[in-house]
Amino acid sequence: MLTKYLTEVTAKFNPFSACAKPARLFLTYLPPNARSSGMKINTTLLPRTSAEKSSLLVKFKDGKELKFETDKINIKGVVGECDRHSRQLQKADDLMD
């Protein structure tokens, strides 16, 4: 996954519900030095009884925000969507050079 163009990741999930899976797995896709290289990562754990659905918010360098309802999308879909926008940014970057 291209993580170079991400500036902020906000994950909110209830680990006891099945829809937490994409959000949790997305956190594992981030590189080990993500925090020290300037990416903001906020994780909120919902209590077990809460009915709130898990969500994932990804912000890019150009200001674009992607919001995912993780009960409707799997981790492949999330990564695909993020990469699609990252590739656009990468292309623009390459043309600038």
Partner 1 sequence: MTRRVTQTAAFCLRRLRYQPSIPQRSCAIAVQNFSTTSRNNATTAAAPKPAGVQVPVDFAPTTKPPSARPTETRKSQMIRTYTSMLRTTPLILFFQHSNITAEEWAAIRRELKKALEAVPATTSLPGSAPVDISSHVKLEVVRTNMLNVALKIVEFHDPEAAAAKSTTARTSRGPIVHDLSQAAYEAINKDVPEDSAYAQIQPLMVGPLATLVIPAVSPAHLAAALTILAPVPGKFPAPKKKKSPGFHDSTCQNGLAKLLLVGGRIEGQIFDQSGVNWVGGIEGGLDGLRAQLVHVLQSAGLGLSTALEGHSKSLWLTLESRKTQLEEESGEKKSE
Instruction: Pick the stretch among 18-26, 62-70, 83-91 that binds partner 1 (CB under 8 A).
Output: 18-26
**Closest CB to partner 1 among residues 27, 57:** 27
Is 85 a binding residue for partner 1 by CB under 8 A? The answer is no
Please give the full DSSP string across 25-36, using - where no structure is assigned: HHHHHS-TTTTT
Is 1 a binding residue for partner 1 by CB under 8 A? The answer is no
Angle between helices 21-29 and 75-96 in degrees, nearest 10: 40
CB of 95 to partner 1, least distance (A): 31
CA distance 14 to 17: 6
Which residue, 79, 12, 16, is CA-closest to 41?
12
> Which parts of this chain interact with partner 1 (CB under 8 A)?
15-18, 20-21, 24-25, 27-28, 30-33, 35-36, 41, 43, 45, 47-48
